[in-house]
Each structure stands twice: as C-alpha cells, then as structure tokens.
Amino acid sequence: MISLTSPIETRAHRWPAGPKLAGLCLATALLFALPSLPLQLAAFAIIALLYLLPGLRFAKAGAKALRPLWPIALVLALWHGLTADWAEGARIVLRFTTAVALANLVTMTTRLADMLDTLHWLTRPLAALGVNTRAGELAIALTIRFTPILAQKGQMLAQSWRARSAKRANWHLVLPLGILALDDAEHVAEALRARGGVNPAPPSAPKGGDPTNGT
C-alpha cells in the first residue's frame, strides 16, 4: 500500500476498515487463483473501473501513486520475453499490478487510524498472552506513512538535480535520499522516546498507598 488517504471523499471512505482489509486479502488470493490471461485482464478492468467511479481526479491520483511500479513490471516483462513466455509474463504483470492497485485503493479510502485500530484488534490475543504488539503496529504505521513521503522527497531531489545539471541523476541520488531517510528516522525515534517509546505503560499504582505495607 503506497499512498495515503485520498482527500476526495468516496462512499468507500465510510466503510469499516476491517471488512475492506478482509476483502483485500480475499481478492488478492483470488487473483492468484485465476488461471488465464483473459480473467486477469477482466480483474484489471474491474479495478480500473473502481478507480474511475469516484471521478477523474481520484483516478489520476491513484494512477500517479502506481507510477513507481513500471520499472518492476518492465523487468518482469523483459525476463519473460527473453524466455519466450510472453503470455505468462503478461499474466504475472497484470496480477502484480492489479493486486497493488487494489491495495492502494483500500489505502486511499481508509484512514490510517482505522487500519491501526483493526490491527490492534487482530493482535489482541497476542497482547493477552503478554506479547508487546505495539512495536509491530507502530512499524506498520510508519511504513505506510513514510513510504509516500520518501518517494516525494526522491522526486524533489530529482527535480533539484535537473535544475542544476544536464546529466541524469541515476545513482547520485541514493546517498542524499539515504541521509534524508536516516534524518527522518532519528527525528521519529526522538519523538517516540519523548512519548515513552514502544513499551506498554506500566500499570498505575492504586490510590490510597501501597496495600502491601498497610499505608
């Protein structure tokens, strides 16, 4: 899931996060069960229609968020072209693109807080066994939150490079983007430490003194 909640309000924004995430898991499993290329094309067309239903602005925002997928799709297509298995390559690329587009659609129509509430509900049995689930919940939240931010910073670095040089940036942006990521991680770590970290808060002492010593 590679985007944040879309500001363009849709009916799906009002649906509970739990059923949407469960439907995402089921639909992704069904995508891997589809045996033929026409069925994969039909699934891709259905997802494209779902993007278009809320309007053209919503569809453009969704398509823009999926733009980073094209290098992976290109590599998959070239590899299957070299192995003379174009049909299988097209099926894999369509399945991959459709699955990520569906996950992106769920993310665009679901608030991060609602996703975390669902995750917290799912991990409640582990918490009852004494497992600290806050670290995992926080890691998922930070991944969802910072992936589009790092992508945006990468685009800004590329624009700055093009404004100052006629050469293509290529690998030259890896180091500054890595430094920006580390700087963001340091700020987030400091903010977490200031708020008590990821360990669950200790139970507060009962009012009226310690009952074990009679005070």
Tell me, yes or no, whether 115 and 135 share the same domain. Answer: no
pLDDT for position 201: 52
Does residue 55 lie within any of the structural domains? yes
Tell me, yes or no, whether 168 and 108 share the same domain. Answer: no
Tell me, yes or no, whether 64 and 156 share the same domain. Answer: no
Tell me, yes or no, whether 103 and 158 share the same domain. Answer: no
Q: How many domains does the chain have?
A: 2
Query: DSSP readout, 130-191?
Result: T---HHHHHHHHHHHHHHHHHHHHHHHHHHHHHHH-SS--GGGGHHHHHHHHHHHHHHHHHH
pLDDT for position 132: 76
CB 105 within 8 A of CB 46: no
pLDDT for position 49: 93
Longest dimension (CA), the chain: 82
Name every residue whose Cβ is closer than 8 Å to that of residue 36 and which is 6 or more positions away in sequence.
91
Tell me, yes or no, whether 138 and 180 share the same domain. Answer: yes
- Residue spans of the chain under pLDDT 50: 1-2, 203, 205-208, 210-212, 214-215
Residue 57, domain extent: 11-122
Tell me, yes or no, whether 111 and 152 share the same domain. Answer: no
Does residue 3 lie within any of the structural domains? no
Tell me, yes or no, whether 21 and 89 share the same domain. Answer: yes
Task: State how far Cα 135 lies from the chain centre.
Answer: 17
Does residue 1 lie within any of the structural domains? no
Considering the chain, what is the average pLDDT of its residues? Answer: 80
Whole-angstrom distance, CA of residue 132 vs CA of residue 154 = 34
pLDDT for position 26: 93
Boundary of a domain, candidates 104, 122, 140: 122
